[in-house]
Amino acid sequence: MERKTSTVTTTVVLPVIVKKKLQFLAQETRISQSEYIREALEDLLGKYGEVFRGSQFDDSVKTGKKGRKN
């Protein structure tokens, strides 16, 4: 997965078994844990893509404006 956009650091709390499986997978495949997490989030956001269509978020992306801060 190639990143072409800017990135931001975030913290995620995972169940211990999930973290261990992720570490093992990364070690076995030589693909970073971060790459797997980014891929999983892209898949999830794609799955729920209809939530964004027509939303305030979708409008802000189309116009290049930042959305409302909460």
Q: Which residue has the higher pLDDT, 47 or 64?
A: 47
The answer to the question of residue 4 being in a domain is no
The answer to the question of residue 10 being in a domain is no
The answer to the question of residue 42 being in a domain is yes
The per-residue pLDDT for range 42-52, each reduced to its tens digit, is 999 999 888 88
Please compute, for residue 69, the number of CA atoms within 13 A of its CA located in the half-sphere on the CB side: 0
Q: CA triplet 42, 40, 70: central angle to 5 degrees?
A: 60
Report pLDDT for 47: 94
**Matching residue, tokens 């072409």:** 4
The answer to the question of residue 3 being in a domain is no
Domain that holds residue 35: 16-63
Q: Which residue has the higher pLDDT, 36 or 50?
A: 36
Report pLDDT for 55: 84
Question: Would the pTM of this model clear 0.85, i.e. be above it?
Answer: no
Rounded to whole angstroms, how far apart are CA atoms 58 and 70? 17
Report pLDDT for 21: 98
Q: Which two tokens stand for residue 67?
A: 């959305």
